[in-house]
Amino acid sequence: MADTIRYEITGKEGDIEYRHYPGLVLATVDSPGNDTGFNLLFAYISGSNKTRNTIPMTSPVITSRTIPMTAPVISDAASMSFVMPAEKPREEIPDPLDNRVRITTLPEREIAVIRFRGYASQQDVDETVSRLQGGLKNAGIAAVAQPFLMRYNPPWTPGFLRRNEVGVEIIR
């Protein structure tokens, strides 16, 4: 079982949960397809890095998707990211051997999320994004980035047991 990112719940309104996340280190791959970066990232944490060491898996796997938005944000790129272990600062994360994998850091931030179960089909994600955006609009809370998908379970987990979330960075 993978470790999970720790966060602090700072509020709740209906289906929306507000969370404060610490700074994170991510291994990220840009890819035109839904999951094409998974193999590259898995190879990276399995030892395809400059130290040849394995890196423990941390959930969730974070995916940006091309998500219909009400404008002006438009994106045709998708990315997938693995979260690096929380106890390791960037300096202790080995550089990848494959230049398609990049290591980035995110500062601490406030995120609004809605959780859902299942296989995270595009329809499920789109519906959840719409609910999240509508709920934030009704609450007068501004999103400051594009929504993203967080998947917490390995691929062999049955759909009814899967935990997924759509999140977006906010300012409250």
Q: Tell me: the pLDDT tens digits for 98-154?
A: 999 999 999 999 999 999 999 999 999 999 999 999 999 999 999 999 999 999 998
* For residues 27-56, average pLDDT: 88
Q: How confident is the model at residue 71 (pLDDT cuts 50, 70, 90)?
A: very low
Those residues with Cβ within 8 angstroms of residue 54's Cβ, 6 or more apart along the chain or in another chain = 45, 46, 47
Task: Using a pLDDT cut of 70, give the percent of the chain over it.
Answer: 89
Q: Does domain 3-171 have CATH number 3.20.80.10?
A: yes
Alpha-carbon distance 164 to 118, whole Å? 7
Per-residue model confidence (pLDDT) at position 68: 44
- Cα distances from 73 to residues 3, 66, 172, in angstroms, run 33, 10, 20
Q: Is the pTM of this model over 0.75?
A: yes
Average pLDDT over residues 144-169: 94
Banded pLDDT at 34 (limits 50, 70, 90)? low
Q: Are strands 58-59 and 3-4 parallel, antiparallel or unpaired?
A: parallel
Select the more confidently predicted residue: 166 or 67.
Answer: 166
- Domain ranges for the chain, please list them: 3-171
| Cα angle, residue 33 at apex, residues 39 and 114 outer, rounded to 5° | 95
